[in-house]
Amino acid sequence: MKSSLARSGMIRPGATLGVLGGGQLGLFFVLSARRMGYRTLVLDPDPASPAMVAADRSIVSPYDSEDSLRDLSDSCAAITTEFENVPARSLEFLSDRGRVRPSSTSVGTCQDRILEKTFLSSHGFPTTPFALVSREILPSQDEIRGLIPGILKTAREGYDGKGQWPIRNYEELASLVSRSATPFVLEKRLDLAREFSLLIARGNEGKTVLYPVAENHHEAGILHISSVPADITFDLERQIREIGESIARTLDYTGVLAVEYFLDTSGNLFVNELAPRPHNSGHYTLDACVASQFDQQVRALCGLPLASSRLLSPCAMGNLLGHLWSGTELPDFSSILAEPQAKLTLYGKNFPRPGRKMGHFTVLGSSAQEAAATVRSLLTGLSVKDSLSSLLEP
């Protein structure tokens, strides 16, 4: 085994870093790593993935190919992932051969809603009331009476509103579950007031750096706008930060972790989901912070001191989704480019479709509210024939 694959110690610039996944999160990791002097290698099944354009080398392969994983581990000093749905066995294989951050255990917990909810509730973190259901184990109507109306979510691979169904009565639940071999989590539908996310960077020795709390607004289950810093009380901010730090510590996490929160109309805070990677709501860090979430991902992977997460300006970020495109033709971004406080970023994806994240833009402002208003105005000004919600309706 190469000495560069040591599991501890600092990995210096000049070494090669590997990333599983070639989407936009992998792209930004590669760009941060290259800027800091590292070489990069991306493994992804899609030869047209955005990160492969910027990487020094790429491996086009399924994530479960042992030959490709062996090539990746032999070529890299350390390996990370850009998304949580990499097969757990692949991460375990890589972990046996060298440094992988975050750990396969952390990713395995976060990639399965059953494991994630069980972890959170067993350690006393506030979660939405839930039950585990499947075709083999369907609780009685009396046992889950308090969870309906609710949301039924697949245990694995659901994101951006996918793999989720509103449940209005027990008959709907029984019908959906009986038709699938997939296990589910049934969550009580909350009267939501607001949604937040917190980015946490945690190093090898447990040192933690927190970014400002972001407030998130969704459309059709997909993040639409994030504004930073969230307009919240000191006590609520402290609660969000303390819960997030405690989750990262309990997971013994190394890397960048995103924690999503719900606040209901009664003022109760709940942990919604964990993302063991940089997060869409944290893209503002590329333009408005001393160090981006991707800089921290490189630093945590390589055992370097974490950088400052200081916010340089209040801001808001708007997602650019595939329904804005006409075929493969780019939308007219003139209004965004004409806004002096806006920064446009496109991901270089070839095939737009409704709900697919194609890019984003960040607007700086004197306040998060002012920046968010500008983002909304610019998004409204883009020519769209149909709303995202109507295009994603089953």
Question: Per the annotation, where are the binding residues?
Answer: 113, 153, 158-164, 187-190, 195, 218, 272-273
Task: Look up tokens 């994806």; give the residue.
Answer: 349
Instruction: State the Cα–Cα distance between residues 126 and 117, nearest whole angstrom.
Output: 10
Instruction: State the Cα–Cα distance between residues 202 and 144, nearest whole angstrom.
Output: 37
What are phi and psi for residue 84, nearest 5 degrees?
-90, -5
**Annotated binding-site residue numbers for ATP:** 113, 153, 158-164, 187-190, 195, 218, 272-273
Local structure of residue 276 (DSSP, 8 states): S
**Which among 216, 239, 240, 237 has a CA at the least distance from the CA of 228?**
216
Instruction: For the chain, report the end-to-end CA distance as a whole number of angstroms.
Output: 51
The token pair that represents 323 in the structure block = 């329904």
What are phi and psi for residue 345, nearest 5 degrees?
-135, 120
Instruction: State the Cα–Cα distance between residues 104 and 62, nearest whole angstrom.
Output: 18
Instruction: State the Cα–Cα distance between residues 59 and 45, nearest whole angstrom.
Output: 8
Instruction: State the Cα–Cα distance between residues 203 and 309, nearest whole angstrom.
Output: 14
Which residues make Cβ contacts (< 8 Å) with residue 15, sequence separation at least 6? Answer: 4, 38, 39, 76, 77, 78, 302
What is the radius of gyration, based on Cα positions, of the chain?
A: 21
Instruction: State the Cα–Cα distance between residues 336 and 352, nearest whole angstrom.
Output: 19
